[in-house]
Structure 1
Amino acid sequence: MIPNVRCSFFFALFLSMSAFGQKIDSLEAVLDTAKNDHKVKTLNELFRANLRTDPVKALGYTREALNLATEIGDKKGMAASYNNLGIIYRNQGALDKALDYYITSLKIYEALNNQEGIASTKNNISTIYSIKKDYGQAMKYLEESYDLFVTLKDERRIIGSMNNLGNLNIEIQLYEKAMKYFSQASQLSEKLGIKFADPLSNMGNIYFKQSNFPRAIEFYEKALAIERENDNRLGMLSILTNLGITYAKAKQPAPAQRYLDEATTLCEQLQAYSFLPSLYKAQAENASTQNNWKVAYDMMLKYDDAREKIYGEESSRNIAQMEMVIDFQEKEKEYDMQRQQSEITKLELHNTRLFVLLIILAILGILGALNFFYVKKKARRKK
């Protein structure tokens, strides 16, 4: 049983996006009067503001942004829109389509020599390769992204990149290197006054994997204090679960029970039921340590029930996810049809104008010929 590794591959993006959830109304008000590239930027900001709550609506905003950016030749806006499309398809599991959009975005940013855009997009590309377990490519893009953020001296995003590099090194079991990145991320966040628990929690995960339970507990406790201060209840739940599991493994039943009980209560409050199997299994292990076989047996029954429920929910989520991807694809087809219709309309208008011009030229030609014959005839009469 291994504690939850809370991978933070998107932290570098969310550092600059966290305030958007509270600005939807003001952004929509700005949209009413915004024009050209300012409107493109506002539409892409509305995408980010709606991404977590209404991804289909978010898709509509960034599609509109891409359409307008293409029409007015706003290359930066086009790159941002393609990057946003990559994010939304990645979130829905359409990894190949997401990668296509990211690469399109990257090419535009490179043509513009926009270093910040290149760095952010390479970070996003690395997440796709990491999910696909192509760790070589993931590492390549993530290191390039990190180097660019260092060159730009963007310290807030450097924190996220270092944490991402640490998580990726955990995946390939390079724990010493991962620990170095987490330590640097934690130190830099402290220097900047950013309360960021993930590097500390991830260091605890490494010590847990190495069965160094006292050190794991030390880092989990530090991370928990930060999450309590931030009032990040989901982060608290993850670390409380890790602490309960670790104390149970360390054969310290009293603190294990305390953390597991608090985690279970918080799990119910947040309806974060995906944590329940780990919690029940740890409860069973903790009870068996105390030779309380009845409680251990009951907890294992709850563990089996929770797993069955979670698998059922995961199946439903997968179906919903597939339906959402289909919905996105339908909207994309609709957008392409609208674009094609717009091109057809423009072509028809062009052909109509050309036809009118030809008629005018023909009339002028006829009038010119008539005038020529008239002048010639008049000259003959004079003779």
Structure 2
Amino acid sequence: MISKTLLVVMLFVTTLSSVAQRADSLVAQLDSVRNERRVKTLNLLSGEYVDSDPVKAFGYAREALNLATEIGDRRGLAAAYNNLGVLYKAQGALDKSLEYYMKSLHIYDTLQLKDSTVMKLGVASIKNNMANIYSLKKDHNLATKYLEESHKLFVELKDDRHIIGSLNNLGILYSDIDMDDRAMQYFIEATSLGEKIGLKNSDSYNNVGNIFFSQGNFQRAVEFYEKALQIARDKNDRVGILKTAINLGVTYAKARQPAAAKVYLDEALVLCNDLQAYADLPAIYKAMASNEAIQNNFKGAYEMQLRYDDARQKIYSEESSRNIAQMEMIIEFEEKEHELSSLRAQSEIDRLELRSRTLFIVVITISGLAIVGGYNFYYINKKQSLKARKELAKALSRDK
């Protein structure tokens, strides 16, 4: 069965010609921005790399989190928590992901922002992402609640790009509970709106393909998947390519076309490892096992089934948490090295400042002593001079 995953909405994402150009531009800005602007830039960079280099995205999100905490930038902190939630979800750490989303939502609920549009967009995006986790956990009641609340906010904002995403998500949710007709309505609405505003989105076509797949209409499913794949390739959306390649591989395996299935599943496996999108590994190995079985290669099918079981277990096991912990340790070590360098520099500054203050105090003290000494010298000389004049006057009066 093809896995269905709600779209994950990132905060503060801009639209330029390519991911590489956006990332390069943002990296160039890092040297010149400070405080809240730096936090925002780091969060933007995390969003840019989330599909192409999750480890780098994780590093930027953690740096944004640390800086936002240090300077008290609560809006930036909320965005960093949201971005980390996205990354943990991709690793299959659903509870950790949900924890960060909840922290982000709590901050937004307590923020007093003058711009209500920013507030609504932040809350809507986070609720959309929380619905994603609840959908994966098969808690359809909470998934529906958060999706509907999120969609309502996007409609109020007249944010077509996010409306398309929430329409797709609502369609996926209804597809999960076997309400395909209603799901198809949402997918068609999302596709139509995307075409209307010139925003081609591979997810909409993938989702329509999923409906046809579930109905056993593999030919129509492939038609929509191929459209989705072309859009993803044109945009260099590696995550979109990964999802669509899995869909095509599964569909061709079900249609008993093992050669075509293998091409797409092999591509998906490479991308999955490159992107560290380990949550997708079970679907790939399961499809590979099925593809080997239809070729009567039962040994290969058995090996892939073992890999499927192992991958599925690792997503929710201690090993997954350990891998994430290792990633955190690497990032934290780099942060500590940077912090140590900063402390060394600050220590040198403090030493020079202390030396300057000491010299200043010495100068002031010497000056003070000089003034006091000068005053005493003047006072004593004056007193002695006065005494001498008095004695001289007495002597002169005796002579007379």
What is the TM-score when the length of structure 2 is the normalising length?
A: 0.65
Farther off after superposition, 10-19 or 136-145: 10-19
1:33 maps to which residue? 32
**Structure 1 residue 241, shift from structure 2 partner:** 1.2
Cα pair 1:40 1:66 within 8 Å, conserved: yes
Q: How far does the alpha carbon of each residue in 1:209-261 deviate from its partner, in whole angstroms, 9 at most, with x for none?
A: 2334454344345445545655664345224314313433xxxxxxx245225
1:66-77 maps to which residues of 2 (within 5 A)?
A: 66-70=68-72, 74-77=73-76
Q: Give the unaligned 5+ runs of structure 2.
A: 274-280, 340-400
Code of the residue aligned with 2:65 in structure 1: it is R
Q: How far does the alpha carbon of each residue in 1:176-230 deviate from its partner, in whole angstroms, 9 at most, with x for none?
A: 1111111111112222223323222222222332334454344345445545655
Secondary structure at the aligned position of 1:297 is classed as coil
1:299-378 maps to which residues of 2 (within 5 A)?
A: 300-313=298-311, 318-326=317-325
Secondary structure at the aligned position of 1:54 is classed as helix
Secondary structure at the aligned position of 1:53 is classed as helix
Matched, 1:284 2:293: yes
Code of the residue aligned with 2:59 in structure 1: it is K
- Equivalent-residue separation in structure 1 for 2:270 and 2:101 (angstroms): 37
Cα pair 1:99 1:128 within 8 Å, conserved: no
How many residue pairs end up in the alignment?
A: 314
- Give aligned-pair identity as a percent: 32
**Structure 1 residue 297, shift from structure 2 partner:** 2.6
1:61 maps to which residue? 63
Code of the residue aligned with 1:63 in structure 2: it is L
Q: How far does the alpha carbon of each residue in 1:316-357 deviate from its partner, in whole angstroms, 9 at most, with x for none?
A: 66555312444588789x99xx9xxxxxxxxxxxxxxxxxxx
1:237 maps to which residue? 245
1:146 maps to which residue? 151
- Equivalent-residue separation in structure 1 for 2:205 and 2:70 (angstroms): 44
Code of the residue aligned with 1:302 in structure 2: it is G
Cα pair 1:13 1:120 within 8 Å, conserved: yes
Distance 1:207 1:27, change over 3 A: closer
Moved over 6 A (4+): 328-332
What is the TM-score when the length of structure 1 is the normalising length?
A: 0.67
Secondary structure at the aligned position of 1:133 is classed as coil
- Equivalent-residue separation in structure 2 for 1:310 and 1:14 (angstroms): 36
The CA RMSD over aligned residues, in Å, is 3.7
- Equivalent-residue separation in structure 2 for 1:270 and 1:327 (angstroms): 22
Cα pair 1:69 1:78 within 8 Å, conserved: no
- Equivalent-residue separation in structure 2 for 1:15 and 1:34 (angstroms): 18
Matched, 1:119 2:121: no
**Structure 1 residue 11, shift from structure 2 partner:** 5.2
1:177-326 maps to which residues of 2 (within 5 A)?
A: 177-227=182-232, 233-248=241-256, 256-257=257-258, 259-263=260-264, 266-267=267-268, 270=271, 275-282=284-291, 284-285=293-294, 296-298=295-297, 300-313=298-311, 318-326=317-325
Secondary structure at the aligned position of 1:281 is classed as helix
1:72-91 maps to which residues of 2 (within 5 A)?
A: 74-91=73-90
- Pick from 135, 147, 151: which aligns with 1:130? 135
